[in-house]
Structure 1
Amino acid sequence: MKWNVPNILTIMRLLAAPALAVMFLYFTRPYADWFALILFVTAAATDWIDGYLARAWKQETKLGAMLDPIADKAMVVIALMVIIGFSSWSGWLVLPATVILFREVFVSGLREYLGDTAGTLKVTRLAKWKTALQMTAIAVLFSQGVFEHYLGMSIYGMDDAVVGAILDGTQEDVLGLVWKAHAMEWSGLIGHWLLWLAAGLTAITGADYLRKAMPHLKEGP
């Protein structure tokens, strides 16, 4: 194995995946949301950086080629698990998250079954766009948790009638409740629809991989 900068970045991204869940075990919210958001965005950025450096420095290795998609899938799967477990939008996210998780398991199973012929399932440009869209959606959904809990901290102990009056604009908004409420709502909506778009691309790429694998799945005469 060759330990170069691109491979080290990939391994760091792989280790960051379980760290996302740890954030919510050892930190209170919204600090856990902040740490998870920063960790996820930083790790997602290395997905582009390590690939760029590997090509630019001609340091592409078998280790990197193996670990890179595993790190991507681990980041997405664990992040979705955390969001479904802690987000107030979880009821709306279960179905697109299920599509994404099912596809990842299905394609991984195809690759394992095909063995030496798994090269027919090379990562396509559309699959890369799928991964980028998944990570963008997850980052936005983590930010929704940040806004939601800052809003909750601001209205803690406040009378419901007063909160309603502030949000309606009939009372002065000293604590910035309006922008926090709007940020929470819009980040949830945008993250939700981005995740659905990612689920659509995920389903399309999964069907494409199945089509390419079909010749290798036919029974002999």
Structure 2
Amino acid sequence: MTMTLPNILTIVRLVAAPMVAVMFLYFTRPYADWFALVLFVLAAVTDWFDGYLARAWKQETKLGTMLDPIADKAMVVIALMVIIGFSSWSPWLVLPATVILFREVFVSGLREFLGDTAGKLKVTKLAKWKTTFQMVAIAVLFSHGVFEHYLGMSAFGMDQDTVDAIFSGEMVDHHGLRWKHAAMEWAGALGLVLLWAAAGLTLITGLDYFMKALPFLKEDT
């Protein structure tokens, strides 16, 4: 195994994936949301850098080729698991997340079955866009959790009449409830739109991969 810088970045990303979930075991919210968001974004950035450096420095290795998709899938699967676990289990969130998780499991199983033949099925540009949409959507959804809990902290101790008066403009918003609520709503809506777009790309790329794999699945006659 060759431990190049691109490979080290990939390994760091692989290790960072479960740490996103660990943040919620050792920190309270919204600090856990912040740490998970920063960790996820930094790991996602390394996804671009390790591929770019490997190509630019001609350091593409078998280890990197094997670990890179595993790290991507681990990041997406674990992050979605955490987001759903701390959500209200809205079907608008669960359904696209289920599509994404199913596709990742299906394609991983297909790759394992194909063995060495799987290397002939190259990653398409659309598949890279799929990964980008997934990671951006997850980052935005993590930010939704941040705004949601800061809103709750700012409104702590206020009765409903006070909160309603602040939102209606009858009282001065000293604690920034209105902008935190708006940020929470926008982050939630944008995150869901991006997640549904990612789910659509996930279905398309999964079907494309399956169709390309069909010739290798035919029985010998």
TM-score, length of structure 2 as denominator length:
0.98
Q: Does the 8 Å contact 1:111/1:121 carry over to 2? A: no
C-alpha separation between the residues in 1 aligned to 2:45 and 2:85?
A: 24
* 1:82-124 deviations in Å (ceiling 9; x for gaps): 0000134644211000000000010111111111211232211
Aligned to 1:125: 125
Q: Does the 8 Å contact 1:83/1:90 carry over to 2? A: no
Q: Does the 8 Å contact 1:120/1:213 carry over to 2? A: no
Q: 1:160 Cα deviation (Å)? A: 0.4
SS of alignment partner, residue 122 of structure 1: coil
Q: 1:215 Cα deviation (Å)? A: 1.1
Q: 1:29 to 1:90 in 2, by over 3 A?
A: farther
C-alpha separation between the residues in 2 aligned to 1:149 and 1:173?
A: 17
Aligned Cα root-mean-square deviation (Å) = 1.0
C-alpha separation between the residues in 2 aligned to 1:217 and 1:55?
A: 32
C-alpha separation between the residues in 2 aligned to 1:155 and 1:34?
A: 19
Aligned to 1:41: 41
Query: Aligned pairs, how many?
Result: 221
Q: Does the 8 Å contact 1:137/1:192 carry over to 2? A: yes
Aligned to 2:206: 206
Aligned to 1:66: 66
Q: 1:168 Cα deviation (Å)? A: 1.4
C-alpha separation between the residues in 2 aligned to 1:15 and 1:29?
A: 22
Q: 1:45 Cα deviation (Å)? A: 0.1
* 1:20-60 deviations in Å (ceiling 9; x for gaps): 00000000000000000000000000000111111111111
- Range with bigger deviation, 192-201 or 112-121: 112-121
TM-score, length of structure 1 as denominator length:
0.98
Q: Percent identity?
A: 77
C-alpha separation between the residues in 1 aligned to 2:220 and 2:8?
A: 44
Aligned 1:1-221 pairs, distance under 5 A: 1-88=1-88, 90-221=90-221
* 1:185-214 deviations in Å (ceiling 9; x for gaps): 110000011000000000000000010011
C-alpha separation between the residues in 2 aligned to 1:76 and 1:116?
A: 25
Any stretches of 5+ residues in structure 2 without a counterpart? none
C-alpha separation between the residues in 2 aligned to 1:190 and 1:23?
A: 24
C-alpha separation between the residues in 1 aligned to 2:211 and 2:33?
A: 39
